[in-house]
Every structure is written in structure tokens, then in C-alpha cells.
């Protein structure tokens, strides 16, 4: 059988976001084209019997049924000369797609009105128009840029109404409200939306608003205390909210709540399950997903990260919770029609489409059956009881051509976040390393999502218990698995995992090679240069650089650069506004100045999502660099 390599990235079919109407399902399938160094996507339709290609592409996404199921709207970029986002509509029975309108700065979200005659579209809008010849950026607010988006100063997300017959559009909202998501009222006379009121002073707060379509009067329904992610209006004037109360800052789990705007009373419906109400598992071959909650027949359906798995749950207004789709896998997105439909993957199976009907599950697609021709290493679970008594989930992947009695080099992988998780989702990177003869070890240390708020809360304690957990996982792996060569162990991770890689090489000499990716090296510069630094750092490290300068420096890996003896490869993207390039440059220059073994690989035109959404050729190059560095230092 074949062994998976970096260039096999082009084989993956990214089965993505879906919508359902009765028995019909529309979804996207994206392809990774190495030759053209680009992504291409088409929309497919499942009619309850078979799957067929529905649009020709090349970049059709985000399909959505009209309320009566007769039409499908979708976004696209079919005009190669025009960079604007295009909004199309097509009859469900087939025919030519009709271009309704275009939006200069993209389409964030859209939804049909109850009568199907109007689409409410959220799109970025410039508050002040710049002269076309003007190339100077005059900044008056923060954040002024955002990862994966670029310059955001002077822009806000607003709502436009688009007629589904004529394509005529009109702007509904204005001002500095920054709108995230919306829902129509049942009678079509109002739109409820979630928005930031002050993204500079209160960047973590979002509120619920309602706008009357006749008067354009906007009313604020919440009191600027919460971080609301999604909303469902109910017939009695109350709401279902997916939100975080921020009691533990960013470490607070997102839950499903019932909210009464008259009494301001909120009820946590998912109180019995201390888990985040979304999918936070890591994956590097994930398709576009629609992160949604659905209300049907008294139940609210939602995805939650439960340890190393993401499952579909439902909860009623009485707080009764049921697991609807379980198993050691990652449910990516879902819909509820005449049956439940969902996309899912696991550690050795890329994403496909499934349905659950009459309690029986059926797989509908086979876009990634090519993977059966490859020999993969299936992660083996082991539990580690660490020194403070907590149990940590961990996994080991043997080399693909594993032989008893032989010693192998190993790589410890560390996830980002820190409030994400590893588990039963597909990681191309892990399979490439195991196919190259490496043992791969990964785990969910303190700070990870899926194990409750207390477990996830490492605020002001970065590099402490989380670091200990990782080292004790490594100790247990060496104790249990005698095929690991303890003299040939490497470590790598990205974002928070990059911070932790930097921290590790400054605090131990046990690793013989390290690759740090999109990392943080200095909390003070991170605070002052990145898109989220000005609120993420005070929340996670405590205070600000003026009130807690010593604390910021104490938790900065750059402080410990003189201790580094591990050969380090730094991988960073030039347009990574989440962890800006200076984080890599400072560490690289410091280590070179100190005479350490270090290299820096800078990827132009890429951002923080290089490993997941970067240009295909760059993604392959990144994997080749990681494998090459580990082979150089662990196999010689």
C-alpha cells in the first residue's frame, strides 16, 4: 500500500457547509489544486436517493435553500477579472444560475426572509470612502487589521436587503455597529442580529439587537455583559442564545441559554454538560463549515466538543440533554430536515456526508475513498495520570512500517489555542510524519477545550501546569512504549503550540529538534502589534505591559533564549496578524546573536491559517520543511 506524503494534500476533497430542506441536502466540495496553486469548489445536491453535482464552479460556496425549497442561493467568484463577492440564485430543480448582485468587500453571511422574496446579507462596509489613488493608511482605531482579512480600520459589517427577483439591494444598517450574525422574525417584519457595539473598548462583548424594517429603528435587547455567538428567536418573544458569560474570560465555555428580553432573565440550558457548544478539534484538511444551532419541535440542536470528540447534541427548554450523533469522531456541520444530515470525519477517515433516519445512520458520499489505498497509522489512545492527580488524554501513532524491536525517533505535537483540542479528527501532518518513520505523540494538556472550564483555565499561568502536563505525557510515553528512542525526540506546534515550543526549548534540553510555527515569543510586542493582542494578552497573562511588565517578560519565551540548545526551525507567515512576523524575527535574531542553531522560513502572502488554508504549494512546502528538519536532527 502507498504511504501518505505532503503532496497527497491535493487528493483530499473538502466536504463542507450544508443546508437541508425536507429530504434534500446541498453542500460544497472543495478541491486543492497544486498545479494551479488554488482551491476550487462546487455545490452538490443529495435528493434523498443519490448525490449529483449541482453547479459547475469554480468557486461556489455557502449554499442555502429558500424557505419553500424552490431556490438555492450561493456565493461565488465566477468573474475572474472581478474580485467582488457574487451572490447567485438557482432553481432547486436545475437550470441556469442567476447573478443577483455583487459586494465589493465580501459576504460574511446571508439568510432568506420567511417569504423567500428577500435576502438579508451581512457585508463589510467602508465608513469613510478613500480616494482610489490614496495608498497611505491613517489609523484612528484598533483593531486596524485582522488575520485573514487584512485592513479593517474604518470598516464595519452591515446588513443589506437584496430582492431575489430583481437583485436590487438597499443598505439597512449604518454607523459603528459591527454585525456578526442575523435571523429574521417569523413575520418577516424584523431582523434580529448580534453585533459589537464597541470593538475597541469592549472587543469581547457582543449584544443582541432588533431592527424594525419599516422604521429602521434599532433596539438593543441585552446589557453588554456577554459574548453572544448565535441567536434563534422563538414565537413567544424570547430567544435561544449560544453565548459565553465571560466569567473566566476567554476560558469560559460557550453554552446554550434561554433569554427573556422583558425580564432580562437568562437560563443556562446546557448546565448539565460543562462543554463548549461548538467544534474546537484541530484538523488541517477541513472544508468550509456552517457553525450553526437549529431549533425544531422544542429541541435546540448544537455541536459540542466533548473531550477528544465533537458530537451532535440537543437540549430542550427544560435543560434535558441528549447526544444525537456520537462516536469517536468530529461532527463538522449539520442540518435538520426530514432527517438529520451531517458532515463528519475521524482520525483516519476524511470528511464525508452522513444522514440519520429512523435511528439508523447511513454514509452518503465517498469523495475520500482514495485514502483506503494508503497505509495509515491509527492513533492509539493512552491515559496519563499526572503529578497533581489529573488524568490527561494522549495518543501515539507508530511509524507506518513499524517493526518490533526497533527504536524510532519521535515528535511531540502541541495544539494551538490553547482552548482547542486534539482528538478524533484527521491530521494530514501527523500521517505524513508517521509515514516518514516518526512516532507521533499528541495530547490535551491543561488549557485544552472539551474537559470543562476549570481544566481550560490557565490564565496567568502559561508555561506552568500546561508545560508540566506535556513533559509528564512525554515521560509516560517513554515508559510505556519502548520503541521510542529517547535520544531522538523532537517537538513542534503552532500558535499557542508555537509559544509552548518556544517555552520548552528555553526550559529543557530533552528535545533534539524543534519547529515553532506562527508563534509568540514576547507578550509585550504581541499585545501591541496583533489583531487580538490588546485584549487577549490582558485576559490570558494578566494586566497590561505597564501594570505587569515583569509578568509579561517572565512569561515570554524570548527571555529564555540564552538557555536554548535545541536546533530550532521557525516557520512564520508575513501577513499573520494574529501572531505578527516580529514574534518570529525577535526570536530568530536573538538566537543568531547568541550563536544558537536556528533557521527562519518566512512565507509571503500567507497568514495565521497557513497550515489549513494557505496556498497549496506553500502548505506542501511547510510540511516538507517540518519533515526535513526532523530528519536532519533526529535521523542522522
Residues assigned a catalytic role: 495, 608
Residue 339 is classified by DSSP as: S
Q: Edge-to-edge strand order for the sheet containing 178-184?
A: 178-184, 190-196, 207-212, 218-220
Task: Kindly list the distances between the CA atom of residue 258 and the CA atoms of 243, 268, 269, 469, in Å, as whole numbers in the listed order.
Answer: 10, 7, 7, 37
Contact 108, 122 (CB under 8 A): yes
H helices of 481-602, in order, are 496-505, 523-529, 533-540, 549-554, 582-593
The DSSP bridge partners found for residue 201 are none
CA distances 304 to 167, 256, 348, 352, 579, Å, are: 38, 10, 21, 19, 27
Torsion of CA 474, 479, 483, 484, to 10 degrees: 20
> Helical H runs in 302-452?
428-435
Residue 88, classed as helix, strand or coil, is strand
The answer to whether the CB of 210 falls within 8 A of the CB of 219 is: yes
How far apart CA 614 and CA 616 sit, in angstroms, is 6
How would you label 18-39 residue by residue, b for 16+ Cβ within 10 Å and e otherwise?
bbbbebbbbbbbbbbeeeeeeb
> Nearest Cα to 285, choosing from 622, 576, 13?
13
Taking Cα atoms as reference points, which of 328, 468, 326 lies closest to residue 392?
Answer: 468
**Strands of the sheet with 13-21, listed across from one edge:** 13-21, 24-33, 38-46, 51-53
On whether the CB atoms of residues 442 and 380 are closer than 8 A, the answer is no
Strands 24-33 and 13-21 turn out to be: antiparallel
The answer to whether 540 and 568 have CB atoms below 8 angstroms apart is no
C-alpha cell recorded at residue 449: 477545550
* DSSP 8-class letter at 575: T
- By three-state DSSP, how is residue 532 classified? coil
Amino acid at each position: 500500500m502507498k504511504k501518505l506524503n505532503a503532496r497527497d494534500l491535493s487528493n483530499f476533497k473538502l466536504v463542507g457547509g450544508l443546508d437541508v430542506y425536507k429530504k434534500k441536502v446541498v453542500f460544497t466540495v472543495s478541491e486543492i489544486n497544486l498545479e494551479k496553486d488554488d482551491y476550487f469548489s462546487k455545490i452538490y445536491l443529495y435528493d434523498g436517493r443519490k448525490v449529483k453535482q449541482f453547479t459547475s464552479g469554480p468557486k461556489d460556496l455557502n449554499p442555502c435553500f429558500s424557505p419553500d425549497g424552490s431556490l438555492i442561493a450561493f456565493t461565488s467568484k465566477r468573474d475572474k477579472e472581478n474580485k467582488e463577492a457574487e451572490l447567485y440564485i438557482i432553481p432547486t430543480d436545475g437550470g441556469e444560475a442567476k447573478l443577483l448582485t455583487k459586494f465589493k468587500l465580501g459576504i460574511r453571511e446571508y439568510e432568506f426572509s420567511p417569504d423567500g422574496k428577500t435576502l438579508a446579507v451581512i457585508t463589510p462596509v467602508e465608513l469613510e470612502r478613500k480616494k482610489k489613488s490614496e495608498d497611505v493608511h491613517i489609523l484612528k482605531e484598533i483593531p486596524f487589521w485582522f488575520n485573514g482579512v487584512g485592513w479593517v480600520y474604518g470598516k464595519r459589517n452591515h446588513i443589506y436587503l437584496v430582492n431575489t427577483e430583481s437583485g436590487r439591494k438597499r443598505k439597512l444598517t449604518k454607523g459603528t455597529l459591527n454585525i456578526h450574525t442575523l435571523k429574521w422574525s417569523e413575520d418577516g417584519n424584523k431582523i434580529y442580529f448580534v453585533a459589537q457595539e464597541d470593538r475597541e473598548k469592549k472587543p469581547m462583548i457582543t449584544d443582541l439587537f432588533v431592527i424594525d424594517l419599516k422604521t429602521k429603528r434599532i433596539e438593543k435587547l441585552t446589557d453588554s455583559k456577554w459574548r453572544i455567538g448565535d441567536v434563534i428567536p422563538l414565537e413567544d418573544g424570547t430567544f435561544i442564545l449560544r453565548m459565553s458569560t465571560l466569567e473566566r474570560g476567554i476560558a469560559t465555555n460557550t453554552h446554550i441559554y434561554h433569554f427573556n428580553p422583558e425580564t432580562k432573565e437568562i437560563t443556562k440550558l446546557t448546565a448539565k454538560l460543562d462543554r463548549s457548544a461548538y467544534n474546537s478539534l484541530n484538523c488541517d484538511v477541513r472544508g468550509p463549515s456552517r457553525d450553526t444551532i437549529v431549533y425544531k419541535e422544542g429541541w435546540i440542536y448544537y455541536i459540542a466538543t466533548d473531550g477528544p470528540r465533537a458530537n451532535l447534541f440537543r437540549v430542550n427548554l427544560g435543560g434535558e440533554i441528549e447526544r444525537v450523533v456520537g462516536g469517536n469522531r468530529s461532527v463538522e456541520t449539520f442540518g435538520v430536515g426530514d432527517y438529520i444530515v451531517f458532515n463528519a470525519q475521524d482520525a483516519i477517515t476524511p470528511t464525508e456526508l452522513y444522514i440519520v433516519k429512523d435511528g439508523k445512520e447511513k454514509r452518503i458520499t465517498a469523495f475520500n475513498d482514495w485514502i483506503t489505498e494508503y497505509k495509515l497509522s491509527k492513533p492509539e489512545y493512552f491515559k496519563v495520570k499526572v503529578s497533581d492527580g489529573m488524568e490527561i488524554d494522549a495518543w501515539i501513532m507508530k511509524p507506518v512500517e513499524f517493526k518490533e524491536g526497533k527504536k524510532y525517533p519521535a515528535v511531540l505535537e502541541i495544539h494551538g489555542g490553547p482552548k482547542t483540542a486534539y482528538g478524533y479528527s484527521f491530521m494530514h501532518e501527523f500521517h505524513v510524519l508517521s509515514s516518514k518513520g516518526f512516532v507521533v505523540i499528541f495530547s490535551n494538556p491543561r488549557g485544552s477545550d472539551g474537559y470543562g472550564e476549570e481544566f481550560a483555565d490557565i490564565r496567568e499561568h502559561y508555561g506552568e501546569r500546561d508545560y508540566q502536563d506535556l513533559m509528564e505525557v512525554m515521560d509516560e510515553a517513554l515508559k510505556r512504549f519502548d520503541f521510542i528512542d529517547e535520544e531522538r525526540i523532537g517537538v513542534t506546534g503552532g500558535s499557542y503550540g508555537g509559544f509552548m515550543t518556544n517555552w520548552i526549548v528555553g526550559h529543557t534540553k530533552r528535545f533534539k529538534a524543534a519547529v515553532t510555527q506562527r508563534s509568540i515569543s514576547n507578550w509585550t510586542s504581541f499585545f501591541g502589534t496583533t489583531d487580538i493582542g490588546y485584549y487577549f494578552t490582558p485576559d490570558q497573562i494578566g494586566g497590561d505591559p505597564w501594570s505587569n511588565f515583569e509578568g509579561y517578560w517572565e512569561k515570554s519565551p524570548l527571555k529564555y533564549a540564552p538557555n536554548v540548545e535545541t536546533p530550532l526551525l521557525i516557520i512564520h507567515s508575513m501577513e499573520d496578524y494574529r501572531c505578527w512576523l516580529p514574534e518570529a524575527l525577535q526570536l530568530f535574531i536573538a538566537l543568531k546573536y547568541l550563536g544558537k542553531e536556528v533557521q527562519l522560513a518566512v512565507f509571503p502572502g500567507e497568514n495565521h491559517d497557513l497550515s489549513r488554508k494557505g496556498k497549496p504549494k506553500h502548505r506542501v512546502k511547510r510540511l516538507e520543511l517540518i519533515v526535513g528538519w526532523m530528519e536532519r536532527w533526529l535521523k542522522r
